[in-house]
Chain A
Amino acid sequence: MLDQNPQVIIDREVVANRWVRVVANEEGVVSVPSEGAVLLSYQYWLSKQEELTLRAAAGHAVAVCFAPDDEPESLPVAANHFVMIACDFPAFTDGRGFSIGRLLRERHGFTGELRAVGDVFKDTINYLSRSGFTAFDVRSDKDIVDAAKGLDDFTESYQSSVAQPLPLFRRRAVIA
């Protein structure tokens, strides 16, 4: 089954979504279209790694989507093998994706587009952005333009994060 919201937020801008998310149908079968940019589950990609790498090499982009219980530590290739990595939030209250995002950025050096998909809306994207996400596939039942404003709910924070590696106390010290 294919799933695609027409628009996403990337680097603070609302833009057209070039990625089609491919998920298993009711029989559990994944049918990957031969052309176009596709977002596949990380587990599916692991199982078809060779052919999907060939597909990507032929100019048809492949991105992977981490489920909450997938582990970035299990990546058999460098994270930067991918131009885009997504994390799925089946429910926004499942916070594992925040850790996955930070690990991909801070430990696996991922520099491409990190996208949050699933139960993503205005009230989650400030934390997501601080955890390293730069793209937000907002729920189709929400106003994406209003959701983007959530990025600026907070403009200051205490902790070290992907968006601001220096915790406030290191910046306060500089000021004082």
Chain B
Amino acid sequence: MYIYDEYDQQIVDQRVAQYRDQTQRFLAGELTEEQFRPLRLQNGLYIQRHAPMLRVAIPYGHVSSRQVRKLAEIARKYDKDYAHFTTRQNIQYNWPALENVPDILAELATVQMHAIQTSGNCIRNTTTDQFAGVAHDEIVDPRPWCEIIRQWSTFHPEFAHLPRKFKIAVNGSVEDRAAVLVHDIGINVVKNAAGEVGFEIYVGGGLGRTPIVGSLIKPWLEPEHLLSYLDAVLRVYNRYGRRDNKYKARIKILVKAMTPEAFGAKVDQEWAFTKNGPMTLTQDEIARNQQYFTAPAYEVFTGDDAEFLRQKLESKGFSRWLERNVFAHKQAGYAAVTLSLKPNGVAPGDASSSQLDAVADLADQYSFGELRVSHQQNLILADVKQSDLLALWEAAKAIGFATPNIGLLTDVICCPGGDFCSLANAKSIPIALAIQDRFDNLDYLHDLGEIDMNMSGCMNACGHHHIGNIGILGVDKNGSEWYQVSLGGRQGKGASLAKVLGPSFAQDEMPDVIEKIINVFVANRNGEESFIDLFDRIGAEPFKAKVYEGKPNRREKADA
């Protein structure tokens, strides 16, 4: 992974000093709440229902065991002994004291971490495929490009006060595991017929109140022009994005209003001035970043490990975990393992300090000391020898991270919701837990196959509910919490947005509603057909009929 040099370290250290000064001036009354708010947000500090919430950046989801131990130490020392992994591959603390944040940042800086631009109307953490560098279907490793983008976006002088937050995702594989189509800028790293690397640039995708799939505005961008082109996109957005209404301020609204063609033309016009300028990437700089993302010292195997193949047949529990939580690796004899942070009874994405410490040990023992965070809020050990899988499975079980549910109904993507977040209309965690509890039977769960269930506590869609096969959105109706269900969303290359099924439901109805949806699926399913394929085949009507059966015909209008 990327290692800071003296420059990177200096920038992060100066940020700690700057933020300490800002906090002191706020506490001394020299900065008003109104002035301090955007400043602290650019440093990931929210003031939430119960306490401040601090979001720490994990650039493109890569973290070392040493860093994880520091995260555990901070949870123990400054928080309630746990932390929460987010859908942007970051980590959040829910209970730090505002006056301790500068000290937390100083501790983070000692392990090359920070909270820079993890919130606020600026360029946020760039995200990518959690299997980058090891995926069997990878075309180009996206991580050097993510790091180049990280540096470009860090304290960019022109784009610190954009109309709204700005999210970039990069994918380098055949299957898109980075959800590039629902980002402000989505980048596919691709190869042309001649084998040269280039980028496809999508803009204006996003979830939130107005979900929309991004538009391709540059089908081929040569690598050296990446940053000057991004500058041009951001400059057009910074100057012309709406600032009068925060719900219409994302770049997607501008792209839609201008049309993607006109937006792309405006970007080209701007880019013509800066293309080939100083921001043109040099081969040295590309190579400098690539050197941090080379393959680790793999042992050479000719094929699958024989002992592993035998173990696989012996234990049903182990083989089920392999089927769900282990991902094919491009290196023979290795595998990528997902540790599930979605066991029954725990808020999705939460990890205690002792679990974090234990996971850091597993990374050291089995995966070259590195971990990744997925946008599905799980942890990945990317480089595990097949011959170590059984031992790793046993060790992961011991810390509660071996639930074999990756991609299944109970692998819920879920925001912190109304329990913690002051933006939320409704709680999300209790719903996720109730559904996990209802579908506790692993055999049944596995028979159901892959179902993405995504849940958000409000329109801001941190839980990505629009791209869940089953999406759940918390809504506020006259001060009480209701839940709107939508079906048919999907992420990846064929990304599509789910459609609202109908009027919303009370919290206690939700497990039954989900069960009815699953029953319709089971009753109509052909063989091993997946939920989303079945939905595409039979449509929403059979689901509606079952879910609203016997319900009075409420005239309530469904929120979009």
Chain A interface residues (CB < 8 Å from chain B): 92-96, 98-99, 102, 107, 121-123, 126-128, 130-131, 142-143, 153-161, 165-170, 172-173, 176
Q: How far is the CB of A50 from the nearest CB of chain B, in Å? A: 29
Task: Given A123-B22, A168-B151, check contact A102 B158 (CB 8 Å).
Answer: yes
Q: Please give me the 6 A-B residue pairs with the lowest Cβ-Cβ distance, nearest first.
A: A95-B161, A130-B157, A169-B285, A160-B278, A158-B151, A127-B157
Q: Which of A92, A107, A143, A156 neighbours the largest number of chain B CB atoms within 10 Å of its CB?
A: A156
**A172 close to B277 (CB less than 8 A):** no
Task: Given A95-B158, A98-B238, check contact A167 B18 (CB 8 Å).
Answer: no
Q: How far is the CB of B59 from the nearest CB of chain A, in Å? A: 13
Contact partners of B227 in chain A: CB under 8 A: 167
Q: How far is the CB of B166 from the nearest CB of chain A, in Å? A: 11
Contact partners of A142 in chain B: CB under 8 A: 30
CA distance A95 to B235 in the complex (A): 10
- By beta carbon, the residue of chain B nearest A69 is B239
The number of chain B residues with a CB under 8 A from chain A is 41
- By beta carbon, the residue of chain A nearest B243 is A94
Task: Given A92-B38, A154-B18, check contact A160 B279 (CB 8 Å).
Answer: yes
**A93 close to B121 (CB less than 8 A):** yes
**B160 close to A98 (CB less than 8 A):** yes
**A166 close to B285 (CB less than 8 A):** no
**B161 close to A161 (CB less than 8 A):** no
**A127, A159, A172, A173: which contacts B7 (Cβ < 8 A)?**
A172
Chain B interface residues (CB < 8 Å from chain A): 5, 7, 10-11, 14-15, 17-18, 22, 25, 30-31, 35, 38-39, 121, 151-152, 154-162, 227, 235, 238-239, 243, 273, 277-279, 281-282, 284-285, 288
Contact partners of B152 in chain A: CB under 8 A: 158-159
**A93 close to B278 (CB less than 8 A):** no
- By beta carbon, the residue of chain A nearest B234 is A99
CA distance A154 to B19 in the complex (A): 12
Contact partners of A93 in chain B: CB under 8 A: 38, 121, 161
Contact partners of B7 in chain A: CB under 8 A: 156, 168, 172
Starting from the known contacts A158-B11, A160-B278, 13 additional A-B residue pairs (CB-CB under 8 Å) come to A95-B121, A95-B159, A98-B160, A98-B238, A99-B239, A131-B158, A159-B152, A161-B157, A166-B278, A167-B227, A167-B278, A168-B151, A170-B278
Q: How far is the CB of A88 from the nearest CB of chain B, in Å? A: 14
Contact partners of A127 in chain B: CB under 8 A: 155, 157-158, 160
Contact partners of B5 in chain A: CB under 8 A: 172
CA distance A157 to B39 in the complex (A): 19
Q: How far is the CB of B235 from the nearest CB of chain A, in Å? A: 6
CA distance A66 to B123 in the complex (A): 25
**A95 close to B14 (CB less than 8 A):** no
**B31, B157, B273, B279: which contacts A131 (Cβ < 8 A)?**
B157
Contact partners of A96 in chain B: CB under 8 A: 238-239, 243
Contact partners of A102 in chain B: CB under 8 A: 158
**A95 close to B162 (CB less than 8 A):** yes
**B161 close to A154 (CB less than 8 A):** no
CA distance A9 to B501 in the complex (A): 59
**Cross-chain pairs A/B with CB under 8 angstroms, 19 sampled:** A93-B161, A95-B159, A95-B162, A95-B238, A107-B273, A123-B31, A131-B157, A131-B158, A153-B17, A156-B7, A156-B10, A156-B14, A157-B155, A158-B152, A161-B158, A169-B151, A169-B288, A172-B285, A173-B288
Contact partners of B161 in chain A: CB under 8 A: 92-95, 98
**A169 close to B160 (CB less than 8 A):** no
**A99 close to B278 (CB less than 8 A):** no
**A158 close to B155 (CB less than 8 A):** yes
CA distance A99 to B232 in the complex (A): 11
CA distance A32 to B20 in the complex (A): 44
Q: Which of A92, A126, A161, A169 neighbours the largest number of chain B CB atoms within 10 Å of its CB?
A: A169
**A122, A128, A166, A169: which contacts B281 (Cβ < 8 A)?**
A169
**A95, A123, A131, A160: which contacts B277 (Cβ < 8 A)?**
A160
Contact partners of B18 in chain A: CB under 8 A: 123, 153-154
Contact partners of B239 in chain A: CB under 8 A: 96, 99
Contact partners of A169 in chain B: CB under 8 A: 151, 281-282, 284-285, 288
Q: How far is the CB of B230 from the nearest CB of chain A, in Å? A: 11
**B156 close to A159 (CB less than 8 A):** yes
Contact partners of B11 in chain A: CB under 8 A: 154, 156-158
Task: Given A99-B158, A158-B152, check contact A173 B284 (CB 8 Å).
Answer: yes
CA distance A102 to B158 in the complex (A): 8
**A98 close to B157 (CB less than 8 A):** yes
Task: Given A93-B38, A95-B159, check contact A158 B154 (CB 8 Å).
Answer: yes
Task: Given A95-B159, A172-B288, check contact A159 B279 (CB 8 Å).
Answer: yes
Q: How far is the CB of B280 from the nearest CB of chain A, in Å? A: 9
CA distance A159 to B154 in the complex (A): 9
- By beta carbon, the residue of chain A nearest B159 is A95
Contact partners of A161 in chain B: CB under 8 A: 157-158
